Amino acid sequence: MLKEKRISVTGGKGFLGTHLIKKLEERGCRQIKIIDLPEYNLTDIIDIRRMYEETKPQFVIHLAAKVGGIGFNQEKPAELFYDNLIMGAQLLHEGYLRKIEKFVALGTICAYPKFTPVPFKEEDIWNGYPEETNAPYGLAKKMMLVQSQAYRRQYGFNSIFLLPVNLYGPGDNFNPSSSHVIPALIKKCFDAIDNHADKIEVWGTGLATREFFYVEDAAEAICLATESYNKSEPVNIGAGFEISIKELTELIVRITGFQGKIVWDKSKPDGQPRRMLDTSKAAKEFQFKAKTDLLIGLKKTIEWYKNNRHKL
């Protein structure tokens, strides 16, 4: 079905976008349009309308987001709220007006309440306020779920909402001002090795847990959902395990070969105490199961960074 469709992928030049486009091409899709800066500013309604007129999509897969780690969320909460809210709301609405066949919205695990029971189940998504440091981002993205369900109920518009957990993999964002935990730790280790430093500093206590989802697996999950899931109830996509930040840091230190000490800056926040998804609904609804073991995924990511870091 997909290979006959005109598909516009917002954020198609980004980390997840580049991997998703490869997966779509492997499926025989040849009518894919990449919607990204600088050609299209998706916070601007004029650019959104121009995008729809120029690319005439039948399917829109909305990956574009303003996003970053805990520090970035603390520095720019207003931008993260407004930019993500306005992109999602206007893209979905304009898609409805043009009667596109399907809108695929990518949410975030940050949409879940701070103290969601582990593993996170989709029905728990409204049972509390998100963790404070990333609540503006999480709530802005969650509004696409409200919109998706409302537009299906009133207009019969086909849109779906996927909830990915923290992504990582080759091509990740290694910019220290906005990167997430895995690329940030990898960069710290290599910088320390280069500078002959005897320690690296890591935010928090190391006790918080996270689940990490290899980017190629995430791209496959999105393809499967785009092909065969047609309901507005949210669906978690992830790997279905958790690891503490302390264990993760020790693993990355070992793989990179950094020999020094890990110093924990306990004055900095841990973020959400625990994160791990229940991924059984994705398995049931569109037969998705993650394939990449964390150790293998980390080795591939570290190898990619080692080979490309001087170009970044």
Answer whether residue 226 is part of any domain: yes
Angle CA 85–89–91, to nearest 5: 120
Answer whether residue 147 is part of any domain: yes
Nearest to 229 by CA among 166, 152, 138: 152
Answer whether residue 20 is part of any domain: yes
What CATH number should be reported for the domain holding residue 44? 3.40.50.720
% of the chain surpassing 90 pLDDT: 93
The Cα–Cα gap between 203 and 201 comes to: 7
Answer whether residue 50 is part of any domain: yes
Give the H or E element holding residue 91. helix 77-97
Encode pLDDT of 199-240 as tens digits. 999 999 999 999 999 999 999 999 999 999 999 999 999 999
Encode pLDDT of 130-145 as tens digits. 999 899 999 999 999 9
The Cα–Cα gap between 147 and 142 comes to: 9
CA–CA distances in Å: residue 246 to residues 185, 243, 249: 11, 8, 5
* DSSP letter, residue 113: B
User: What is the pLDDT at residue 69?
Assistant: 79
Answer whether residue 86 is part of any domain: yes
Domain of 280? 2-168+214-240+276-291
Answer whether residue 297 is part of any domain: no
Q: What are the DSSP calls for 163-205, one per residue? A: EE-EEE-TT----TTT--HHHHHHHHHHHHHHTT-SEEEEES-
Task: Yes or no: say if 167 and 218 are a contact pair by the CB < 8 Å rule.
Answer: yes
Q: Which residues fall within 8 angstroms of residue 265, CB to CB, at 6 or more apart?
A: 201, 202, 203, 204
Considering the entire predicted model, what is its pTM?
0.95
The answer, yes or no, to whether residue 290 has pLDDT greater than 90, is yes
Answer whether residue 163 is part of any domain: yes
Total domains in the chain come to 1
Task: Yes or no: say if 214 and 237 are a contact pair by the CB < 8 Å rule.
Answer: no
Answer whether residue 250 is part of any domain: no
How buried is 93 (Cβ within 10 angstroms: 0-12 exposed, 13-18 middle, 19+ buried)? middle
- pLDDT (mean) for 146-168: 97
Annotation marks residue 137 as catalytic: yes
How buried is 218 (Cβ within 10 angstroms: 0-12 exposed, 13-18 middle, 19+ buried)? buried
Q: Coil, helix or strand for 149?
A: helix
User: What is the pLDDT at residue 187?
Assistant: 97
The Cα–Cα gap between 27 and 61 comes to: 16
pLDDT category at 73 given cuts 50, 70, 90 is confident
User: What is the pLDDT at residue 266?
Assistant: 96
Q: Which amino acid is at 77?
A: P
pLDDT category at 87 given cuts 50, 70, 90 is very high
User: What is the pLDDT at residue 72?
Assistant: 86
Catalytic residue among 112, 137, 151, 214: 137
